[in-house]
A and B are shown apart, each in its own frame.
Chain A
Amino acid sequence: MMRTGLWKWLAIPALLFAVTAHAEVFEKTLHNGLRVVVKEDHRAPVVVQEVWYHVGSMDEWTGKTGVAHALEHMMFKGTRSVPAGEFSKRIAAAGGRENAFTSYDYTAYFQQLHKSRLPLAMKLESDRMQNLLVSDQEFAKEIKVVMEERRWRTDDEPHSLLSEQLMATLFEQHPYHHPVIGWMSDLQQLSADDVRAWYRRWYRPNNAVLVVAGDVNAKEVFALAQRYYGGIPQRPVPPTQNFSEPPQLGIKRIVVKAPAELPYLIMAYHAPTLRDPAHDWQPYALEVLAGILDGNDSARLNKALVREQQLASSVGAGYDPLARGPSIFTLEGTPSEGKTVADLEAGLRAQIGKLAKDGVSEDELKRVKAQVTASEVYKRDSVFYQAMQIGQLESIGLSYRDIPLMLQKLQEVTAQQVQQVAREFFKDDNLTVAVLDPQPLSGKPRHMMQEGGSNVR
């Protein structure tokens, strides 16, 4: 079971764990608008540099889906002074690791190295912030790689396919409707010009945050940042459109057929995103609720549906309130042999109903909060993850400075609040149900699947 669901592309760690000790965080904004955030952590002589651009696939337009991610791939294909492939070679020769990732909300690049190699990483990263060359020839090869990535990640992965279809159904007007990697038909028509235009439009110091974490001195990092990034000219950032998803008008159901053995069910409810860490309360209550349903192996869903009733071979609940766009709360699972997705849906609905009716116990509440507290300590074992959190929060309109407040708010959630959000958000008009109908590898139909679940309520 996956507590946070299968939202690979939601790409945001659950708020439950979005906590850090951050007394050692320093920040500065360069004259060109680049924000620099430094987290000092002296446990090991390593450093991670991350540059987060505040642009993701949700800023794409129809017919050009996948362009944000395609550019991310092209960012390794050379500048005027660093030929294609050289970026990776130089980082590797410095003993470093590097990669990049794209989500709905942002696009980020990082390198992990011995602390003495930070200047090299900054030199290379600042160079491609302004000097990228996208050649037609390199693009023609790389877009094939992206299509292979799509086949591997989505087209041949039944659960990913189901998630993709779910998002396309759940969000009709908001751009979360489109997959981050892009629709295959768009990828086939995407051009090097599209990628170049995307780069020119969005990549600039005043649309990014630079996060450095590790065994460094903040003052020295600021000086290095000034040296390598300070000369990049500031340019106006086009406004991003504010999309919203209108209220759903009734339950939606979809079925996806794909080669697989087991059926699979996802129930997704629209849910609030954390916007105002000080005054919002529902996201915190929903986060605690997710922990009560699925925070450990004896939490409600696993205990009731896998262990006791044996309705499911796995179940999970997921909620992520950290995003630029709207959030969702998901319940998902695989029915046990002999059980149908309708049985499982009924079982999940019963759990939700019980929550709304009877609320939660103080013990359950305390347990989730203890896990939050411990996770805050464990997280400090990874410099990389600490930097990830800072970059993520900064990229979605929140701040690392909100972390202690968010932690405190989680600790203050009451049993009554948990019950209240269960009542408010788990409504049919707010729900999309997606079902994977497994097909035999031979391509011949296996059985008629029982569609829908309205008959079981």
Chain B
Amino acid sequence: MLTFRGVRKSYGDVVAISALDLTVRPAETTALIGPSGCGKSTLLRLAAGLVLPDTGTVTFDGLALSPATIEAARHRMGYVIQEGGLFPHLTARANVTLLADHLRRPRAWIDDRVESLRDLVRLPADSLARFPTELSGGQRQRVALMRALMLDPDLLLLDEPLGALDPLIRADLQRELRAIFGSLGTTVLLVTHDLNEAARLADRILLMNEGVLVQDGTFADLRDRPTGSFARRFVSAWDAP
């Protein structure tokens, strides 16, 4: 689905990702976890083509991402960031349908799709006519998810999607997201700094530190058999719920 081959990315003198090889498996939820600055967000941005690797290639569904191929690839990806990244000048509904409108999808198809996504993310019907500033934080993230899912993407990229929410809403949404991912069977690549969240949502957890992949496995692998001193410290700093 998504593979990284010998990918290296630096910003000036700062190396964000060094020599990374990784395959994100289809229909799995993969969580990228690690301290801030470990390179997990850069990895997600490489996947979305927001930055290009210095060396190596990122391949999406057999196609190497490049300025020529990225736009078509993005139509098959959904992308959600911490604050949702909703456009404040558009209603929730217009945010959701922006790309479909641009691609001139049939009106009836759009209406059906919006309705079924609204059901899926359990957003109240009247919220769609509101502007982002008129929605709660949780509602904004639901709308952002609807926007990301609008064209039924093959890959969902989520950058700290619940990071700005208060703990109660966050826990609710984690449960719902898990159910949504399960029902859609979509490939998900998720960035979080919260091991609990990764444990709840992900089939596979990738622990990163200083631009390097430290451990690759399930939550149980990481909890019970951390490899190396960093992984041990990371796990021991986390209080089991």
To the question of whether A and B form a pair in one complex, the answer is: no
Q: Hey, which bits of chain A sit against chain B, CB under 8 A? A: none
Q: Hey, which bits of chain B sit against chain A, CB under 8 A? A: none
